Amino acid sequence: MSQTLIAFFSMTGESYVSGKLINLEKGNTHVAVDMIGEMMEADQFQIKTVQEYPKGHMPLINYAKEELNHQARPKLTREVINMEQYDTIVLGYPNWWGTCPMPVFTFLESYDFAGKRILPLCTHEGSGLSNSVADIRKICPQANVQNGLAIVGGQVKESQAILKEWLKTNQLL
Ligand SMILES: Cc1cc2nc3c(=O)[nH]c(=O)nc-3n(C[C@H](O)[C@H](O)[C@H](O)COP(=O)(O)O)c2cc1C
């Protein structure tokens, strides 16, 4: 039987949503992933780092830039047990500085994704997927990495139909 894993990284705390700085109890990507979870059967795995990220927006922006510049691979708190059982991975992440947050790359380098299908799902504040899909392909050259879906963070809650259509297009519904 084919099985899907929804793996995602998402922040809580201060975030610019539609140009306003607000406090998110659940990150935009997390909200999108939960909506998918309600539409289809899939296991969920939240990518979390041992070293917590700064909660304030500007400190986070600067911290993430440093990580990008150093191509950091922050250590993750836990692992997916039995990655072999999944043939499709919906990979949710925010656009950070034009690519995925570095912990998403830690995640991608932790398993063998050869022959698996990866569906990137990116939330952003205007840049769309940027380089994220190309970067995922570089790290997982033997995976079947699809073109991905980008949703503006502030529009996630109204994206039910878009998400549904995307899952249908990818034969998950
Ligand atoms: C460190 C950092 C860098 C970001 N860089 C970009 C960017 O380059 N382009 C963009 O459109 N949005 C950028 N954003 C906005 C996020 O992609 C957007 O707010 C996203 O929906 C956050 O998802 P989350 O709430 O699941 O963490 C950035 C946000 C942060 C915190």
Kindly report, residue by residue over 116-161, the tens digit of the pLDDT: 999 999 999 999 999 999 999 999 999 999 999 999 999 999 999 9
Report CA(1)–ligand 1 centroid distance (Å). 35
Strand 13-17 relative to strand 20-24: parallel, antiparallel, unpaired? antiparallel
Q: Which atom of ligand 1 is nearest to the CA of 152?
A: 21
Residue to mutate (ligand 1; options 33, 69, 96; most atoms within 8 A of CB): 96
Q: Whose CA is nearest to atom 8 of ligand 1?
A: 97
Kindly report, residue by residue over 73-120, the tens digit of the pLDDT: 999 999 999 999 999 999 999 999 999 999 999 999 999 999 999 999
Report CA(127)–ligand 1 centroid distance (Å). 9
User: Quick one: residue 62, left, alpha or beta (phi over 0 = left, psi -120 to 50 = alpha)?
Assistant: alpha
pTM for this model (two decimals): 0.97
Q: Which atom of ligand 1 is nearest to the CA of 65?
A: 1
pLDDT at 1 over 70: no
pLDDT at 3 over 60: yes
Report CA(67)–ligand 1 centroid distance (Å). 14
Answer yes or no: are the C-beta atoms of 103 and 72 closer than 8 Å. no
Kindly report, residue by residue over 18-40, the tens digit of the pLDDT: 888 999 899 999 999 999 999 99
Residues having CB within 6 Å of any atom of ligand 1: 10-11, 15, 24, 27-30, 60-61, 64, 94-98, 123-127, 153
pLDDT at 51 over 80: yes
